[in-house]
Amino acid sequence: MERQLEPASNLGRRLMQRLLGRPTVAAAHREARVIAVASGKGGTGKSFVSTNLAVALHRMGRRVAVVDCDFGLGNAHLLLGVNPRHALHHLLSGEVDLAQVLVRTPFGPDLVAGGSGISGIAEFDARQFVMLARCLGEVASDHDVVILDCAAGLSTQTVLTMLGAEHVVLVTNPEIAALTDAYALVKCLARHGNGPEVHLVVNRVMVPGQGRPTFERLADVSRRFVGKTLSYLGEVTDNPNVSHRRLGQPPLIVSHEECSESKSIRSILAGLEVAVGPLLAGIPSEGVEQRLVHRLRGT
Ligand SMILES: Nc1ncnc2c1ncn2[C@@H]1O[C@H](COP(=O)(O)OP(=O)(O)OP(=O)(O)O)[C@@H](O)[C@H]1O
Ligand SMILES: [Mg+2]
């Protein structure tokens, strides 16, 4: 696994060559803030956090899009109550254009759905990744915030997706297995000295207050061993209201607006805005493609 994570991986190198070969577009237009929601271990609650943050942002009047970057087992569409005909892999294979893939969900955010049970795209090439970077840039040009709901783990394409984001919200659980994998992800991002900042959410805590000490353990190891500083966004308690949801039920922040987990989501969002500034479109210093080039080059 470690070998795949090298910043100079073959895919990364080919990708950079392709991106460098494209004419540079002056970033004079307003562009969304791009936030990746990621984890090392699977099932920590990334899609739950991504979709509920997105709805919370929409309710604050922001134009928000979720891009489900899980090319094999995306489920953000189910959580946002839509069943789109086309998904990201159709876009990356050139079958459809962005207008056909981007759909409005009943809860407000726009969505580009991920794959469902499709393995063909699980490994994609530099050309497809350039298309993904371009697509993210296009989505960003028309929203205030773009949330990338990443696949679990550290595959080359997931790492490259994270490198296209300004910030990473890392979702872990308090268990040692999830924390170990979260550390692997931090270590991987730390290899890119100019990589995204990492902000931690501790989800599914069994005892209120368990999040902060969990963060401190991970932050301490990350700072000491890989020189990466993490910030803490907060915890979400484990609640059957979340795990026992029926298909078609609205996101928690809509169905249980005042429950403690919905309050936690709003507090995490407030913390994120303190950490990274307002989640509103602005004139970016660089767009998704330029960010990727700089990070892959290490400049
Ligand atoms: N705070 C919570 N309390 C109870 N259950 C939760 C909580 N957060 C998430 N879950 C449940 O955990 C399961 C995994 O959540 P989710 O799909 O959001 O994880 P994920 O990290 O996106 O998974 P994957 O790695 O497969 O993409 C779901 O059944 C979800 O309902
Ligand atoms: Mg998910």
- Residue spans of the domains in the chain: they are 2-297
Whether ligand 1 lies within 6 angstroms of the CB of 174 is answered as no
Write the burial class of residue 176 (CB in 10 Å: 0-12 exposed, 13-18 middle, 19+ buried). exposed
- Confidence band (pLDDT; 50, 70, 90) for 186? very high
- Rounded to whole angstroms, how far apart are CA atoms 1 and 190? 16
- Rounded to whole angstroms, how far apart are CA atoms 128 and 272? 31
Whether ligand 1 lies within 6 angstroms of the CB of 203 is answered as yes
- Rounded to whole angstroms, how far apart are CA atoms 291 and 145? 16
According to CATH, the topology of domain 2-297 is Rossmann fold (3.40.50)
**pLDDT the model gives residue 4:** 43
**pLDDT the model gives residue 123:** 66
Q: Which atom of ligand 1 is nearest to the CA of 70?
A: 27
Distance 91 CA to ligand 2 centre (A): 20
Question: Is residue 120 pLDDT above 60, yes or no?
Answer: no
**pLDDT the model gives residue 119:** 54
Over residues 209-231, mean pLDDT: 98
Higher pLDDT, 250 or 22: 250
Question: Is residue 124 pLDDT above 80, yes or no?
Answer: no
**pLDDT the model gives residue 29:** 81
**Full-model pTM:** 0.92
Over residues 98-106, mean pLDDT: 96
Percent of residues in the chain assigned helix, strand, coil, to nearest 5: 45, 15, 40
Distance 221 CA to ligand 1 centre (A): 25
Whether ligand 1 lies within 6 angstroms of the CB of 47 is answered as yes
Cβ atoms of 252 and 52 within 8 Å: the answer is yes
Hey, what long-range contacts does 57-61 have (CB within 8 A, 24 or more apart)? 57/109, 57/144, 57/145, 57/269, 57/279, 58/107, 58/108, 58/109, 59/108, 59/253
Over residues 223-234, mean pLDDT: 97
**pLDDT the model gives residue 233:** 98
Write the burial class of residue 259 (CB in 10 Å: 0-12 exposed, 13-18 middle, 19+ buried). middle
**Which residue of 149, 171, 242, 263 sits with most ligand 1 atoms within 8 Å of its CB, as the best mutation to test the pocket?**
242
Query: What's the pLDDT tens digit per position in 43-84?
Result: 999 999 999 999 999 999 999 999 999 988 899 999 999 999
How would you label 81-117 residue by residue, b for 16+ Cβ within 10 Å and e otherwise? beebebbbbbbbeeeeeeeebbbebebbbbbbbbbbe
**Which residue of 39, 47, 175, 201 sits with most ligand 1 atoms within 8 Å of its CB, as the best mutation to test the pocket?**
47
